Amino acid sequence: MSNIVLPAEHRYNKIIQERQNEDGSELAILNLGPTHPATHGIFQNILLMDGERIVEAEPTIGYIHRAFEKIAENRPFYQITPLTDRMNYCSSPINNMAWWMTLEKLLNIEVPKRAQYLRVIVMELARISDHIICNSILGVDTGAYTGFLYVFQYREKIYEIYEEICGARLTTNMGRIGGFERDWSPKAFEKLDAFLEEFPAVWQEFENLFTRNRIFIDRTVNVGAITAEKAMAYGFTGPNLRAAGVDYDVRVAQPYSSYEDFEFDVPVGKSGDTYDRFCVRNAEVWESLKIIRQALEKMPAGNEFTADVPAYHLPPKEDVYQDMEALIYHFKIVMGEVPVPVAEVYHPVEGGNGELGFYLITDGSRTPYRLHFRRPCFIYYQAYPEMIKGSMLSDAIVILSSLNVIAGELDA
């Protein structure tokens, strides 16, 4: 066995030396990560193993910590969206919108109904793409690769819609204070309609492939179960909490961006195990599709895509060249000279995998005084060592991917 795994003073080495098994077997340390393929990002788990069973686990985080909160303190408000993109990069539009909504709360800006609905549509698309990845990767981690590639095409279609809206795919940097930077192109709506038409059949097929598959059920039922009390004590939110049976959804509890206008159910699980998390995410995709359809139906006519906030919304370039006022606003916005009130704001949204919150303190200057991201992955990951204790190595992998811990968001 290799002897250069860990510094000799790690506490597990002591446990190994002290524990004498009757049959003469020894415990062993296994490094799961930081470059293990199933960690989907970079985090390390130091596992104390008894054969295939995990006796204890110690997670290490910070491998892709980029100090976003600190960087944000030195950036004008509108330059912070690119940072939010890179947190949960599977559903970056939700992060972008959450940041704009935080600012709108700070500045007391009323966003027009149509822009709110557009935001709802793009956020639900992001939720679908997030759940597509999470659930199909769960398939990959249990060994079924095909479902992943099969539904991945449709994530691609979602990315094409983003592309029509803002020009970017993964790190979207979408929207502006007050709404969007420009109206959605007709092509975007076309692609959205095509997606809504094709995707349900594919998702149904994906569900059929897994939900009644005996091997998949055996691999996931009662694996990584967490009780509702414990989940709440850890601060779980989103699908992981709902799988444990608590129907907390920020979209219902504190509606934002006109979520109160739409009819949708909050799917809830029972046991909080991996299978329930899988099913809750599956069901949420259907609910998201429902919301998008309603939003398209109820969308007010016109082409209003932003609030009338010239002090915060960049004017069109032609106006800047010809119009005195636009030139002044342009200058002031780009130089970050627009005054903001001194305040403390917290705004939560229902992110792809839990309650994503921005806690913002301003001191009236061009940058935040302090900005804190409430990142659900960071919170889930605390519970991870406890959830995998006593389970097999294979379970640890499956639990990690069903919690949908995304390294970018975990480390921020």
Partner 1 sequence: MDTTTFIIEKGTIIVVVFAITMLMAMYSTWAERKVAAFLQDRVGPNRAGWGGLLQPLADGLKLFTKEEFFPNTPNKFLFILGPGIAMSTALITSAVIPWGDKFHIFGKDVVLQATDLDVSILYIFGVLSIGVYGIMIGAWASNNKYSLMSAVRASSQMISYEVAMGLAIISILMMTGSLSLKEITIQQAEMKWNIFYQPLAFVIFLVCSFAETNRTPFDLAECESELIGGYHTEYSSMKMGFYLFAEYANMFISATILSVVFLGGYNYPGMEWAEQNWGVNIANIIAIAVLFAKICFFIFFYMWIRWTIPRFRYDQLMNLGWKILIPLAVLNIILTGIVMVLFN
Residues that bind partner 1 in the complex, under the rule CB under 8 A: 1-2, 5, 28, 30, 36-38, 51-52, 139-146, 149-150, 153, 209, 213, 215-216, 218-219, 392-395, 397
Question: Min. distance of Cβ 368 from partner 1 in angstroms?
Answer: 40
CB 104 within 8 A of CB 182: no
Q: Which is nearer to partner 1, 168 or 209 (CB)?
A: 209
Comparing CB distances to partner 1, the nearer of 35 and 303 is: 35
Please say which residue, 212 or 303, places its beta carbon nearer to partner 1.
212
Q: Which residues of 375-405 are buried (b: 16+ CB within 10 A; e: fewer)?
A: bbbbbbbebbbebbeebebebbbbbbbbbbb
Of 150 and 286, CB closest to partner 1: 150
For the four alpha carbons of 51, 57, 58 and 63, in that order, the dihedral sign comes to positive
Shortest Cβ 200–partner 1 spacing (Å): 17
Please report how close the Cβ of residue 397 comes to partner 1 at its closest, in angstroms: 5
Minimum Å distance from CB 346 to partner 1? 38
For the bound state, the minimum distance from the C-beta of residue 396 to partner 1, rounded and expressed in Å, comes to 8
Q: Which residues contact 271 (CB under 8 A, 6 or more apart)?
A: 221, 222, 225, 243, 244, 245
- 220 vs 277: CA distance, rounded Å: 9
Min dist. Cβ of residue 154 to partner 1 (A): 11
> At closest approach, how far in Å is the CB of 10 from partner 1?
15
Nearer to partner 1, 188 or 279 (CB): 279
Residue 405, classed as helix, strand or coil, is coil
Report the distance separating Cα 4 and Cα 151, nearest Å.
41
Give, as one character, the DSSP assignment of residue 306.
Answer: B
Phi, psi of 131 (to 5 degrees): -70, -35
The answer to whether 165 and 184 are in contact (CB under 8 A) is yes
The rounded distance, in Å, linking the Cα atoms of 40 and 55 is 23
Torsion angle, alpha carbons of 192, 198, 201, 207, to 10: -50
CA-based R_g, the chain, Å: 23
Residue number, 25 or 365, with CB nearest to partner 1: 25
Omega before residue 34 within 30° of 0, cis: yes
205 or 325: whose CB is closer to partner 1?
205
Write down the least CB distance from residue 148 to partner 1, Å.
Answer: 9
Q: Which is nearer to partner 1, 99 or 216 (CB)?
A: 216
Look up residue 2 and give its two tokens.
Answer: 């290799």
**Residue (27 or 123) nearer to partner 1, CB:** 27
Q: How far is the CB of 218 from partner 1 (least distance, A)?
A: 6
Q: Cα(247)–Cα(256) distance, rounded to whole angstroms?
A: 17
